A = this chain, B = another copy of it.
Amino acid sequence: MDNRTGHRIVPETAAPRGDRLAERHAAARYGNRPTMKDVAARAGVGLKTVSRVVNGEPGVTADTERRVQEAIEALGFRRNDSARVLRKGRTASIGLVLEDLADPFYGPLSRAVEEVARAHGALLINGSSAEDPDREQELVLALCARRVDGLVVIPAGDDHRYLEPELRAGVATVFVDRPAGQIDADVVLSDNFGGARDGVAHLIAHGHRRIGFIGDMPRIHTAAERLRGYRTAMADAGIPVTDSWTSLGVTDPQRVRRAAEEMLSGAEPVTAIFAGNNRVTVTVVRVLAERSRPVALVGFDDFELADLLQPGVTVVAQDAAQLGRTAAERLFSQLDGTLLTPERTELPTRLITRGSGELPPAD
């Protein structure tokens, strides 16, 4: 068989019990799952006794417990946590709203949030805002309607007043990577300004004066802070910045490629580029690989295999997992009542030199 022509679909061999999917779901619609009431009837005990056994509460004789356990097994009972949640008020779930689950920067962050949630017995509901403020709001409010206990949000928008009623109602909330807009909330950030400033100063220290900056859309806080770091480093060194050296916008490859190529051509081409995030860095690496004249590069965000490229890519690294862990821990501190007032936590960045940032100016 040529497996490149398309999908191969073959029926599975029927299971002994031979139930079809459609039958299963039709049954589900009519609520065929056993409830505590069914278990109680079968075991010949009261509802509360079943509840005690299911929850491991004391005050049940060994014999009663055994009868209840047998009924549970026989019926295939599994407690309906949505009913439990309704009664208890806490859902033991938290929401995570980020830009894009597929972006490698968010993988370790999500995983770290998940681990902390797990340690607190909570499940993680997550979704991507796709950098769209409306979609962020829609997602956040859907999570609030599900009554998640808390939210970890990497905001896309810059106005979060829509969250005020939810905060008042007690939804714990921590913003990560970018601050909340127009509301007072807990926030965990990387030192975007200092990291970019140090990265650009590193290029200056290696003799560069014409340094380009390619970043994300200026309405994104991290992009604005990193640009500010760039400008500060340049000003500190007494280097006036020409408009054509900075380019901000969406980070899709076409736009970044065009921006890089423009900076690298013309009468006074840049001799070094500071890339504002991992998406930008990757595209700039591609552009530079096609050119003969060496151009120095420092990127914000580390990425896998950066050390194996020729030359290795010097980066300003932030610890995505630590961002997630810190945010999640603060969230559960809020829920414990330990955390009394919103704070802003800033995590340090780290310059990792690998070669590309230490290249001297080509002219």
Contact = CB atoms under 8 A, between A and B. Distances in A.
A334 interface: yes
A111 B107 contact: no
A21 B186 contact: yes
Most chain B Cβ neighbours within 10 Å, of A25, A76, A118? A25
Contacts of A143: 123
Given A79-B145, A86-B83, A142-B123, A111 B128 contact: yes
Contacts of A183: 15
A81 to B, nearest CB: 4
A114 B101 contact: yes
A107 B107 CA distance: 7
Does more than half of chain A's interface fall in helix, strand or loop, or is it mixed?
Answer: mixed
A22 B184 contact: no
A110 B59 CA distance: 45
How many copies of this chain?
Answer: 2
Given A169-B33, A340-B20, A25 B335 contact: yes
A124 B123 contact: no
A12 interface: yes
Nearest to A339: B21
A125 B337 contact: no
Nearest to A13: B184
Interface in A41-81: 76, 78-81
Interface stretch (A2-10, A215-223, A231-239, A240-248): A2-10
Contact of A168 (B19, B82, B341): B19
Nearest to A334: B21
Given A91-B82, A335-B25, A104 B101 contact: no
A345 B8 CA distance: 6
Given A25-B334, A28-B170, A102-B110, A286 B304 contact: no
Interface in A79-129: 79-83, 85-86, 89, 91, 93, 100-104, 106-108, 110-111, 114, 118, 123-128
A111 to B, nearest CB: 4
Given A124-B127, A186-B21, A346-B8, A166 B78 contact: yes
26 contacts: A1-B194, A9-B344, A12-B185, A12-B186, A21-B339, A24-B170, A25-B172, A25-B335, A26-B337, A28-B170, A29-B170, A33-B170, A78-B141, A78-B144, A78-B166, A80-B147, A82-B82, A82-B86, A100-B111, A101-B107, A104-B107, A106-B107, A282-B304, A303-B305, A304-B304, A310-B310
Interface of A: 1, 3-15, 19-22, 24-29, 31-33, 76, 78-83, 85-86, 89, 91, 93, 100-104, 106-108, 110-111, 114, 118, 123-128, 141-147, 165-172, 183-187, 191, 194-195, 282, 285-286, 289, 303-305, 308-310, 321, 326, 334-335, 337, 339-350
